[in-house]
Amino acid sequence: MERMLIGETPQHIGESVRLAGWVHIRRDHGKLIFIDLRDRSGKIQMIIVPDHVEAYEAAKGVRNEFVIDIVGKVKSRPGGAQNEKISTGNVEIEVEQLKVLAVAENVLPVEPSSDTLDVNLKTLLDNRQLSLRNAKVNAIFRIYSSMLRAYDAVLSQDGFLEIKTPKILSSATEGGANFFKVKYFDRSAYLAQSPQFYKQAGVGAFERVFEIGTVFRAEPHFTTRHVNEYTGLDAEMGFIESFSDVMDELEKTMMFIFKTFQDECAEEMALHEAQMPSIVAIPRLKLTEALQILEQQYGKKMEDGVVDIDPEGERLIGEYVKKEYGSDLVFLTHYPTVARPFYVMPNEDPQFTDSFDLLFRGLEIASGGQRIHNYADLAKNIQLHGLNPDEFKHYLDNFRFGMPPHGGWGLGSERIVQKLLGLKSVKEAILFPRDVKRLTP
């Protein structure tokens, strides 16, 4: 008999089926043994009675997280609704055969069957292999998977080509010191801080490209929103009129992702009591306007001469935009030239750039804008940033051979899920996170 998934059992009432999965909970009531079995499609209650002697004896030794294989009859559960969409909560299995495929330790460091899994972050992550089996934790990554599929789908529909760029580079992408240096045979190399240079090269060949790939940042942060390895959702598009075109495309992308959450992830969202993001036009505020709002509405003022926004300011602007516009997101635009990399297009006012950050519920999730596409202007800007153009020869070659006006973004995938579900730390939205102190499991 072929194995059936638990989610398929409601269509087989009265039939014998074979199931396999993990013991979620085992309960004894008198001489009866009840087991909730779990597989990738859901959970189902099973009952083992003494009449099925071999199955009953095998069940006596079963504990939570044992992996078992059973054969049994699907029955309507007492009091269950009878309809075409009957759920596994309305059926149960009377077990006739039971085989243990793998055992679990007597004492589990965390309990996957817990509704809350109320443990601290260190315990949660130290025991990641087991905590991922918890329904609430598991739901995070089902939502994450839906987001990745949606990102791929919407950009593919809009003519973007998916690419994969190298993560071992001969030089640091954006300069500075926040890179990991590695030994590469007889020389040094660097882990990619972003796919920026390569996705711009992709524009020269394909016009529109995107990547879902790993990014490394050697920043010694100890915050709830930073890690040293994350998955970036990048895109770059050619033949733009201005950086507004880039924001238009990113807005469309975010709305598609939110609609996907709405259509596919209602059950997972409910486990976290998460509120669906508003699907409305995203407001666009110049950074200087946002700073004025902070001062006028909240009495918050940045240091004299500083045209930038801190995490508290982002949170407050998020609250303001939600109240005034009904939006969970906001574009902050025209960041100062000194605060942006050398490849970002200067604005008509040269102290600012044609760039943006996208905030989601008060947290920056994306940064982007228009890029410099003229060879001479780019070489000059590299020098203005205190860097040597000779060290960027291969990058500059893209522009020697003709590059259209273009722009793009880098979007932090895990931060989207963090804010969507109200997770306390972005590390909860990463399967096996890496930070300053964590290299295992």
Which letter does DSSP use for residue 362 in this model?
T
The angle at the Cα of 326, spanning 314 to 235, to the nearest 5 degrees, equals 60
DSSP conformation letters of 112-141: TT-SS----HHHHHHTHHHHTTSHHHHHHH
> Within a 10 A sphere around the Cβ of 26, how many other Cβ atoms?
20
What are the φ and ψ backbone dihedral angles of 394, each rounded to 5 degrees? -65, -35
What is the SS3 assignment for 151?
helix
What is the SS3 assignment for 411?
strand
Q: Left (φ > 0), alpha (ψ -120 to 50) or beta: where does 88 sit?
A: alpha
Q: β-strands 161-162, 363-370: how paired?
A: unpaired
Q: β-strands 91-102, 42-48: how paired?
A: parallel
Catalytically active residues are 217, 219, 225-226, 364, 367, 415
Specify the residue for token string 């598609």: 256
Contact (CB, 8 A) for 272 and 195: no
What token pair was written down for 188? 């040094």
Contacts 24+ apart (CB under 8 A), 303-306: none
What token pair was written down for 391? 């060290």
* Amino acid, single-letter form, for residue 278: S
Q: Is the peptide bond before 441 cis (omega within 30 degrees of 0)?
A: yes
Contact (CB, 8 A) for 231 and 192: no
d(CA 428, CA 125): 8
d(CA 237, CA 431): 30
What is the SS3 assignment for 400?
helix
d(CA 338, CA 262): 40
Name the strand (E) or helix (H) holding 287: helix 287-298
Q: β-strands 208-216, 161-162: how paired?
A: parallel
Distance of CA 99 to the CA centre of its chain: 37
* Amino acid, single-letter form, for residue 208: R
Burial class (CB in 10 A: 0-12, 13-18, 19+), 115: exposed
Beta strand residue intervals within 77-186, DSSP E = 91-102, 161-162, 168-169, 181-184
